[in-house]
């Protein structure tokens, strides 16, 4: 296998890397230089993330202390006992809700009830192009360039005017809006519950760099520079270096240290671990690409907690998605659950991937909670997208964060679903992935900013919450 194993603070002994003829050593694009086979030499100096971090206690086997799947703690101050976070991929607010919202583009409505209180996407983007129809076929045919360098040029200092022409990576397909027929369940969630129309991807660029804000609430690396040194990284493509962060606290650690429970449920996890060494699992028959690599198989680079030593390859916390339904049925759902579909089921453009399977995945996961007599009245579901995928959005993002000096990217949707969410509500409060971290901190510990990153600065998600349904109001900031 080509690719360099890079560690930060620890050498990961025995971390299993798979490889196959069609597979590379990393996921999603970008990458460090290859310094040869099998070395423990960094191909790029990883950023310093030690400041303000707390080391999670570990057991003799090197993993985080397991509080047990069934050890559910009492509810936090809000009485929200369970939080389910679903992270889909690579669509801006305009691509999905640009025709759900009906307020004129640029009108900045101050009301909060229904589609008339959020801005529609413009009929033409600044250079004059009209949107293409983002149906299943178009989604599979065009994967916009969404590297940081490309997106910064398209954003053009906030003018948002070079997505379809004027930049080296411009493409007419970058201005696209999905029809209601493809995403109707998402539109129904917005109508029945709450949506945020000022929720931004925390950093310009690709998936992994944005996902890391859900774990660390601050800058870790740019684009998809690294894969975690976790099982399955060799079945992703293209080749990038691997990295492991040791002795660093994450949002999951905050939850666990409070005595609550946590798990990340990912599609394809068990199949990847059951595959023999130095090979990759076969592509599922419904994966359009049909190859044993991304987007058809589990990619640990889509699970930010896999980058951290206390969770990497740790089956106490990293679990197959089939365990999610079982946990609900057996009344052992963790206090905090992250859900991740395999790429061809998470709406990522290109590879022939359709939107519809992603919508079906989300609908099934949501319905499992909403119809559960044990969880429908005590669970908040948060549905978001990792980043905008290089698609156009007409709202200028905030400038760089004062915490880590990294540039904000385009809007992505965030929906709050379930009993605790406001109904038919549009929040205009500026938020990002670190806002979810801040909420988890507040809800399960009562103290925010524990990661020493943006969780101390960003707004909380209280604007989406029906305060009549909670014992203690969830803050908006």
pLDDT tens per residue, range 326-343: 999 999 999 999 999 999
What does the block give as tokens for 87? Answer: 């992270």
Mean pLDDT, rounded, for 444-463: 97
Q: Is the pLDDT of residue 345 over 80?
A: yes
Closest CA to 207 of 229, 186, 222, 228: 222
Q: Which two tokens stand for residue 242?
A: 């691997």
- Residue 418, classed as helix, strand or coil, is coil
For 76-89, what is each residue's pLDDT tens digit? 578 899 999 999 99
Average pLDDT over residues 283-288: 97
Read off the pLDDT of each residue in 451-477 and give the average, rounded to a whole number. 96
**Among 75-89, 127-141, 214-228, which stretch is predicted with the lowest mean pLDDT?**
75-89
pTM listed for this prediction: 0.86
In tens, the pLDDT along 362-389 reads 999 999 999 999 999 999 999 999 999 9
Q: Is the pLDDT of residue 6 over 70?
A: no
- Helix or strand or coil: residue 319? strand
| Interatomic CA distance for residues 389 and 212, integer angstroms | 16
pLDDT at position 55 is 33
Q: Using pLDDT thresholds of 50, 70 and 90, give the confidence band for residue 63.
A: very low
At residue 42, does pLDDT exceed 70? no
pLDDT on residue 43: 32
What 8-state DSSP symbol labels residue 296?
S
User: So what's the pLDDT on residue 78?
Assistant: 83
In order, the DSSP letters of 130-165 are PPEE--HHHHHH------HHHHHHHHGGGT---SSS
Q: Where are the alpha helices (DSSP H) in 306-432?
A: 322-329, 356-370
* Domain-wise residue ranges, the chain: 82-94+183-469
User: What does the pLDDT read at residue 61?
Assistant: 32
Tokens representing 378 are 């005590």
Say if residue 206's pLDDT is above 50: yes
Phi-psi region of 99 (alpha: psi -120 to 50; beta: other; left: phi over 0): alpha
Query: Which among 197, 229, 196, 227 is positioned nearest to 209, based on CA atoms?
Result: 227
Question: What angle (nearest 5°) sits at the alpha carbon of residue 435, between those of residues 431 and 436?
Answer: 125
* Nearest-5° Cα angle at 134, 133 to 140: 130
Characterize 146-171 residue by residue with b for buried, 16 or more Cβ atoms within 10 angstroms of its Cβ, and e for exposed.
bbbbbbbbbbeeeebbbbbeebebbb
Taking a C-beta distance cutoff of 8 angstroms, is the pair 229, 5 a contact? yes
8-state DSSP, 77: T
**Average confidence score pLDDT of the chain:** 87
Q: How far apart are CA 40 and CA 71, in angstroms?
A: 38
Beta pairing, strands 132-133 & 82-88:
unpaired
Rounded to an integer, the average pLDDT of 22-29 is 35
Gyration radius of the chain over CA positions: 21
Q: What is the mean pLDDT of residues 90-117?
A: 98
Question: CA-CA distance, 218 to 405, in Å (whole number)?
Answer: 10
Percentage of the chain exceeding pLDDT 90: 81
CATH topology of domain 82-94+183-469: Alkaline Phosphatase, subunit A (3.40.720)
Residue 120 has pLDDT above 80, yes or no: yes
Distance CA 92, CA 210 (A): 14
Sign of the CA dihedral with 297 first, then 302, 303, and 309 last:
positive
Residue with tokens 């409070």: 258
Of the listed ranges 27-31, 72-76, 189-193, the one predicted with least confidence: 27-31
Name the token pair of 458.
């960003």
Which pLDDT belongs to residue 76? Answer: 54
């Amino acid at each position: 296998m080509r690719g360099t194993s890079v560690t930060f603070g620890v050498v990961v002994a025995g971390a299993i890397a798979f490889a196959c003829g069609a597979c590379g050593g990393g996921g999603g694009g970008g990458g460090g230089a290859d310094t040869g086979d099998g070395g423990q030499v960094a191909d790029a100096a990883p950023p310093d993330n030690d400041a303000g971090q707390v080391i999670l206690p570990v057991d003799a086997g090197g993993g985080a202390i397991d509080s047990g799947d069934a050890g559910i703690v009492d509810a936090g101050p809000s009485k929200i006992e369970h939080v389910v976070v679903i992270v889909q991929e690579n669509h801006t607010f305009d691509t999905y809700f640009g025709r759900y919202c009906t307020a004129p583009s640029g009108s900045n409505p101050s009301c909060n009830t229904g589609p008339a209180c959020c801005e529609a996407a413009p009929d033409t983007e600044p250079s004059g192009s009209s949107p293409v129809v983002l149906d299943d076929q178009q989604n599979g045919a065009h994967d916009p360039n969404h590297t940081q360098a490309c997106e910064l040029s398209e954003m053009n200092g906030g003018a948002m005017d070079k997505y379809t022409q004027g930049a080296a990576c411009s493409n007419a397909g970058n201005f696209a809006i999905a029809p209601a027929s493809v995403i109707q369940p998402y539109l129904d969630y917005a109508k029945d519950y709450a949506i945020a129309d000022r929720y931004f991807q925390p950093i310009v660029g690709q998936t992994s760099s944005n996902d890391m804000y859900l774990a660390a609430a601050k800058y870790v690396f740019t684009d998809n520079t690294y894969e975690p040194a976790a099982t399955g990284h060799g079945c992703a493509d293209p080749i990038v270096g691997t990295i492991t962060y040791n002795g660093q606290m994450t949002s999951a650690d905050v939850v666990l240290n409070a005595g609550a429970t946590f798990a990340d449920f990912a599609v394809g996890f068990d199949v990847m671990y059951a595959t023999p060494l130095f090979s990759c699992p076969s592509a599922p028959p419904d994966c359009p690409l049909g190859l044993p690599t991304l987007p058809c198989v589990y990619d640990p680079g889509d699970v930010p907690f896999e980058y951290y030593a206390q969770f990497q390859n740790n089956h106490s916390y990293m679990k197959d998605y089939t365990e999610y339904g079982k946990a609900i049925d057996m009344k052992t759902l963790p206090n905090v659950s992250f859900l991740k579909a395999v790429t061809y089921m998470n709406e990522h453009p290109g590879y022939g991937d359709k939107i519809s399977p992603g919508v079906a995945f989300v609908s099934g996961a949501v319905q499992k909670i909403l119809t559960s007599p044990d969880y429908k009245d005590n669970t908040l579901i948060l549905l978001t997208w990792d980043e905008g995928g290089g698609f156009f959005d007409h709202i200028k993002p905030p400038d760089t964060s004062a915490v880590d000096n990294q540039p904000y990217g385009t809007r992505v949707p965030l929906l709050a679903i379930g009993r605790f969410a406001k109904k038919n509500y549009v929040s205009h409060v500026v938020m990002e992935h670190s806002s979810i971290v801040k909420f988890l901190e507040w809800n399960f510990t009562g103290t925010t900013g524990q990661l020493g990153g943006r969780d101390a600065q960003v707004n909380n998600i209280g604007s989406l919450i029906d305060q009549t349904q909670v014992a203690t109001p969830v803050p908006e900031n």
